[in-house]
Structure 1
């Protein structure tokens, strides 16, 4: 399994974004009209078949507007589908002191290191380093097209089944919390909200950024899935519904 090559990020000039709380940005649309991925498609057998013989499809979100002046870097994340009676996706909440995407809901993942033999190896290594998820519980199914963040990370999402029975050990420097969200919730577009923020850059030009969010109420906690993580989940939805 090979990742897409690092490409120059020149689709748009670097335009700094103002600080904002994504939870306060108004919802512009919710995709109630789109079909739900059936529960029968979310079993281990069906997921193996889908990745084994993938459909013809196109990702909906490939690149965010560039809002950080960074050199592009190859990265990989693990999209861990835990095969419980009701399948879930394992997610993390990043600590607030990290230099990029601090405090956000994320997949386990990070930069691809030179010693990683491929992006799947990088994603599994990062999952072990961040949350202590052992590779013996992981069955890699395949990868989705790259997703380039506004911070210039070119991310390959590596989708995998995870056998229950694992015990997590969270790295407190990188991860504040871990939790699971039902896969069916994330594959229901009625839970996919669209947001838009518009601001003026230093030169007076109007700038615009759009993104998805998929807030999940986890007991007393609202897990605010948005941005790159929601964009990659939206692409997984498109892959599953194709």
Structure 2
């Protein structure tokens, strides 16, 4: 999929299917992630991170660059760009924001805004080892193909909740990251 193909399918007025998230009892803590689409001209890859192994929460989990919205941020776009710069050294001027997917609520109490942006590949990631173990790319076509998505249902109280998984080579993308990619898949391929 090229940038032009992505844009022509991303910009529409229809309401795509949205995967269920965690039903928070109160408004979640605002957070933003960047879904960085690395634009190679003839194809798009998604740049993902592996969280540092020493972290207390979600060590080693695959994620997007992102985090809580700070008081100094002007909004979700600003927070996503700031976090990507802090975590992997992605300069904001290398990102062309396309838009945002519906917010996704997590069991940990966050309401995450997935910001989608094209990334100029002419940058070398600088990893903040306090937060990130590594950064790697996955072809967007692989992530959007729902034949590659696995769903496991878990139960909490009297409710059932899906947990999404997307295997890629030796890695397993799961949880909120996989759910947001699944929402992107519904958005592009309804």
TM-score between the two structures when normalised by the length of structure 2: 0.91
Q: How does 1:1-242 map to 2 (within 5 A)?
A: 42-51=1-10, 53-64=11-22, 72-84=28-40, 85-198=42-155, 208-217=160-169, 222-242=170-190
Q: CA-to-partner distance for each residue in 1:202-236, whole Å, 9 max, x for gaps?
A: xxx5664321100100xxxx111011000000000
Q: CA-to-partner distance for each residue in 1:132-167, whole Å, 9 max, x for gaps?
A: 011121100000000001101100000001111111
| Matched length | 189
| 1:123 counterpart SS class | helix
Q: Is the 8 A contact 2:104 2:113 kept in 1?
A: yes
Structure 1, unpaired ranges of 5+: 1-41, 200-204
| 1:195 counterpart SS class | strand
Larger of the two Rg values belongs to structure: 1
Q: Give the drift of 1:70.
A: 10
Structure 2, unpaired ranges of 5+: none
TM-score between the two structures when normalised by the length of structure 1: 0.72
Q: Is the 8 A contact 2:62 2:172 kept in 1?
A: yes
- Greater strand fraction, Structure 1 or Structure 2: 2
Give RMSD over aligned pairs. Answer: 2.1
Q: Work out the CA distance in 1 between the residues paired with 2:161 and 2:100.
A: 26
Q: CA-to-partner distance for each residue in 1:69-103, whole Å, 9 max, x for gaps?
A: 99831000000010124311000011133233222
Q: Is the 8 A contact 1:93 1:175 kept in 2?
A: yes
